[in-house]
Amino acid sequence: MQTSPLARLIVIVLLVSLVIPATTLAQDDTPPAKATSEDAVKVNLLFVGAHPDDESGATATLARYVLDGGAKAAVATATRGEGGGNAVGRELGPSLGIIRDYEERMSLGMLGINQLYPLGEEDWAYTTSASATELAWGYEEPLGNIVRLYRVLKPDVVITMNPSPRGHGHHQYIAKLATEAFFLAGDPNAFPEQIEQEFIEPWQPKKLYYALAYGSAGLAVSVEVPTNEFSPSQFMTYAELESIALGQYRSQGWSASLPPSGRGLNPETFTLAASVLPMPETETSLLAGIFEGVDHAPANVELEVRPSDFYVSQGGEVMVDVVFRNFSEIDLMDLSLSLSAPDGWTVSEASAPADVPVGESLSASFTVSVPQDADVTDFQTLVGRFDAVDGDAVPRYASTRTLLQVTPPVSVELQPIEAVQIYREWTQRNNVEHLIRLVPAEIAIGAGETGAIPVILNNRSDAETEVTVALSVDSDAVTLDAAEQTVSVPAGETVVADFMATVPADMAQGSFEIAVDATYEGYALSDAGTLQIVPTLSVPALAEAPTIDGDLSEYADLPAHDIPFDRLWEGETTDEGDLTATFKVGYDDAFLYVAIEVIDDVVVSNIAPNDIKGHWRSDSVEITVDPHGPGASENTLTTFKTGIFPFDTEGNVQAERDADANQGIISETAPDMQVASAHTDTGYILEVAIPWNAVPGEVAPGDAIGFNILPYDCDKADAAVGENCNEARTGWSAWGSIQGTPRLWGHATLEQ
């Protein structure tokens, strides 16, 4: 007999009712849990960088914590990398940003990260200056954007780049902003409109780390994360996983690092810049203290040691607050706070014990007395500690540390360069002075010139002090007007003692150690730095303007200046035929004239006429001019920089301006500039007339300017159109990142 559909449905319902408990079928009166934004976006780790692929210094670490450690992570990038290179096409600007945004999402997806937050800043050019980046991005808006991100994502740990004045200025500046936001995000008085108008709450991240892949510059490693261990979920090492993930950045050429074994197996390293948590003696994890307590402390308690001043004089006193906050799930009783200092120091008594329930805090103030003979050669450590018991009478305790710098009555140091001084002032404003020992003093003097080596004497005592200062340079060729001075330093004042150094005219580019020693009243202090020798030349005044046509015969009587193939600042060359340059310069009231002959065994012309940008992608020559004087500009925004392709894909010379304040093709940014090129049997010729009206500053006969010539070499005969094929970079003045460091450009004097 055939069963009707209705009958079959009744049977199914009866069977299901026999299998499923009646309580399940009955209406559940328990209201569903309410979803929150925190459920969706809260992360344990947040990496804050400047460009897509900046997280490469922490990729293996993020993979370890997310894929195998159960953590949740996000990445924020200030820009979309729209100003960088493009190894896969000709897109630039916003179009390139779309590609790099896609690449970053693909790369992060392989690490189990699906939260990417571009912050909307412009990737405007390469610079070595955080100050130049600040001028381009501004301050309040990007800082507020990062504070907002912290408050919404609620990261426990923030990782960023190195803020010290080394390397890319975008990296430095985003690290500065990420650091400031760490201290502001939990403060309801910072960006209050976010709280009042956007209805978000303050949030204090627990720890801040700097990824040391972007330069240690004196920073000590706090956490070392291995990359040669196998991921149990991915069946490969974290280094291999990192290489595959970074291979997604094809526009940046990362795919060339494959196969995965091409990526190094060195551990990724991080330094702890700030923390509100107790600190173990040795850190083994960036997430230590987040899911579990440190030592015998419950998770999510905070402990900070806050000196009133980072600097304290010998024989002086400093007030120190120890602050405890109980954000754990355990009430703590009889909690006491204590502070310990180095041997021979004295610390006032601890406060009386008190109960600190969940959500409450306790603080205590201590007076720390520093002995007259306290060590001034290194940082000194103060250790704060809490002791308590929980409801089961189990002891709960942990400690944390902070650093102080003890100063003698008069301190001595070589004067830092402007970028370092700006950085030091930033560390002081943000209470991270323990980061100031990142860059030694550097003083640049031109060959054949006499320049000052300044020594700073800072008297923090209440008595005038007479100091004997001696200075030496590790070169017999460099002479000093005086190797020793005796200087009176008034109480509470700073005095600069200049030592005049003369460099021989024939001295080659190079660096030499400087040592300074100061003695007074039983003290013997010292500091060290580097003297950097840069090349110099005189620019003849021309009675008759040359014709810019690629014929250099009009320059026959001018002195020639060489750029040998081994004067490298990046890449590799093989011999004189690979990349050697000779140039001559002259000037008149209207132009600076530069005639350049380049020996290059493979001249590449892969840049299309409508793709004139990023001269460093192919064979080219960069010319830089600082009209304000040798080493005067802290960054390139007050200079003139032009990159010249000797030939585009149609055989025509092309030029653009890059990384100064007026970027773009010459026809728009310096319309009076004239350029010509010509092939030779061994390479090519460039003839350039740079109009003074395009240079951002006034110059006159007798003035000295910063000046440099930087040849770029491709050496890839079959380079695709638009391909970034640069292999070597030389320079008249050749130092690391020289294109963005006006301080180290050569010196050129306009003859009268």
Q: Which residues contact 642 (CB under 8 A, 6 or more apart)?
A: 622, 623, 655, 656, 657, 658, 666, 670, 673, 688, 690
Q: Is the pLDDT of residue 225 over 80?
A: yes
Q: What is the CATH number of domain 301-407?
A: 2.60.40.10
Interval 372-390: pLDDT, tens? 999 988 899 999 999 999 9
| Of 122, 184, 123, the residue nearest 149 (C-alpha) | 184
| Fold exhibited by the domain 37-275 | Rossmann fold (3.40.50)
* Residue that is written with structure tokens 């609620």 in the block: 154
Give me 21's structure tokens.
């408990």
Indicate the range of 167-171, 199-203, 541-545, 579-583 predicted with least confidence.
Answer: 167-171
Q: Is the pLDDT of residue 162 over 80?
A: yes
Q: What is the DSSP string of 281-308?
A: SS---TTTTTSS-STTSPTTEEEEEEES
Task: Tell me what pLDDT residue 255 has.
Answer: 63
How far apart (Å, rounded) are the C-alpha atoms in residues 392 and 633? 65
- pLDDT bracket for residue 40 (50, 70, 90): confident
| Over residues 152-179, mean pLDDT | 95
Q: Is the pLDDT of residue 441 over 80?
A: yes
Indicate the range of 206-215, 379-388, 666-675, 695-704 predicted with least confidence.
Answer: 206-215
Q: Global pTM? A: 0.87
Burial 459-472 (b: 16+ CB within 10 A, else e): bbbeeebebebbbe
Task: Tell me what pLDDT residue 13 has.
Answer: 38
Task: Tell me what pLDDT residue 26 has.
Answer: 41
Interval 237-289: pLDDT, tens? 999 999 899 999 988 877 644 444 445 578 999 999 999 999 988 888 999 98
Q: What is the CATH number of domain 537-750?
A: 2.60.40.1190
- pLDDT bracket for residue 323 (50, 70, 90): very high
How far apart (Å, rounded) are the C-alpha atoms in residues 175 and 210? 8
Q: Is the pLDDT of residue 8 over 80?
A: no
Indicate the range of 25-39, 110-124, 195-209, 512-526 predicted with least confidence.
Answer: 25-39
Task: Tell me what pLDDT residue 262 has.
Answer: 47
- First and final CA of the chain: distance in angstroms? 119
Domain boundaries, the chain: 37-275, 301-407, 410-534, 537-750
* Residue that is written with structure tokens 């032009």 in the block: 642
On whether the CB atoms of residues 406 and 365 are closer than 8 A, the answer is no
Which amino acid is it at 618? Answer: S
Task: Tell me what pLDDT residue 113 has.
Answer: 96
* Average model confidence (pLDDT) across the chain: 91
Find out whether the peptide bond into 395 is cis, omega within 30 degrees of 0. no
- pLDDT bracket for residue 204 (50, 70, 90): very high
How far apart (Å, rounded) are the C-alpha atoms in residues 87 and 122? 20
| Of 371, 671, 423, 411, the residue nearest 523 (C-alpha) | 411
Q: Is the pLDDT of residue 74 over 80?
A: yes
Interval 626-662: pLDDT, tens? 999 999 999 999 999 999 999 999 999 999 999 999 9
Identical fold for domains 301-407 and 537-750, yes or no, is yes
Q: Which residues contact 415 (CB under 8 A, 6 or more apart)?
A: 441, 443, 454, 455, 456, 496
Indicate the range of 306-310, 418-422, 570-574 predicted with least confidence.
Answer: 418-422
Interval 554-583: pLDDT, tens? 999 999 999 999 999 999 999 999 999 999
Neighbours of 14 (CB within 10 A): 9
Q: Which residues contact 9 (CB under 8 A, 6 or more apart)?
A: none
Q: What is the CATH number of domain 410-534?
A: 2.60.40.10
Task: Tell me what pLDDT residue 14 has.
Answer: 36
Give me 213's structure tokens.
């892949």
Q: Is the pLDDT of residue 18 over 90?
A: no
| Over residues 32-55, mean pLDDT | 89
Helix (H, G, I), strand (E, B) or coil at 47: strand
Question: Which neighbouring-strand residues pair with 643?
Answer: 622, 656
Q: Which residues contact 11 (CB under 8 A, 6 or more apart)?
A: none
| Over residues 471-486, mean pLDDT | 97
Neighbours of 551 (CB within 10 A): 14
